[in-house]
Amino acid sequence: MMGIWSAFFNPGKRFEPNAERSVEWNRGAYLAEAMAHCGECHTPRNLAFSLDNRRKFAGEKQAGWMAYNISSDKETGIGDWKPEEIASYIGRGHAAGRGTADGPMGEAVEYSLRYLTRGDVSALAAYVATVPAVKASSLPPVKNSAAPDDHNMGVAATVDPRGKEIYEGACVSCHGWSGASPVLDYANLVGARALNDPAATNAVQIVLSGSTRDSAHGSLYMPEFGQAYSDTEIAAVANYITARFGSTPSNISAANVGDLRKEVSK
């Protein structure tokens, strides 16, 4: 059966440079396609569970987390990112005003990508920036402006007040009411795709799992709250933060959180 599948979807060709592209671009293509296998997470699958390269890098759910759209679409991908922002996210797991990598992508940075040379990171960024735009219909454009510093402003009254109470007690000291962290740039929430996802998948997962990372600033730590709060409470805080810091509020339930809790990647 695997032989039949491979005949259709895995021709087994070695990487072939594109003579019409620069040396840097071809280096980036080799790293992304033959070494890092970026598409294995970021490209949707077809019915045969092969990569659907007609929607290359358009985003897919992996290990309970969303690997978001990294095509050149300007609204739902990274088409409006500067090359240095893409390079910073790849090499450091963070780009100012764009968010911080966590979950499987954070692990990829932590254990692999941060050890690349500057030239390799720049090459990867140059290649990824040229991937044809594919719009992710489930995602709105990212809100890049900070929320008000006054916690009484900026959120509709329909948002569950329990979310605000939990955020105030457990989150605001690091992330601030505006989303612009008073502590560390890595903790900024402004511009993060995870908070501009109405499904709130990665927002829930980072609350459940927390994060421990090494960086140029030393060891970074966000506690995991999966054991401290119920599914109802985590749903409330996820709905609050997407409403306050995102462009389209989520409306997830305790049952949604329960399903994601089962998929937490350790």
pTM of the model: 0.90
Of 4-13, 163-172, 193-202, 251-260, where does mean pLDDT reach its minimum? Answer: 4-13
CATH of 161-261, one of 1.10.760.10, 1.10.4080.10, 3.40.50.12370, 1.10.357.10: 1.10.760.10
Asked if 163 contacts 170 with a C-beta cutoff of 8 angstroms, the reply is: no
Across the strands, what pairs with 214? Answer: 219
**What are the residue boundaries of the structural domains of the chain, listed by start?**
12-128, 161-261
CATH 1.10.760 assigned to 12-128: yes
Question: pLDDT digit string (tens) for 187-209?
Answer: 999 999 999 999 999 999 999 99
Which pLDDT band holds residue 215 (cuts at 50, 70, 90)? low
Helix (H, G, I), strand (E, B) or coil at 83: helix
Reported as half-sphere exposure (CB side, CA atoms, 13 A), residue 234 has a value of 27
Q: What is the pLDDT of residues 78-111, one digit of tens each?
A: 999 999 999 999 999 999 999 999 999 999 999 9
Helices 201-209 and 254-261: crossing angle, nearest 10°?
Answer: 60
Q: What is the pLDDT of residue 54?
A: 93
| Identical fold, 12-128 and 161-261 | yes
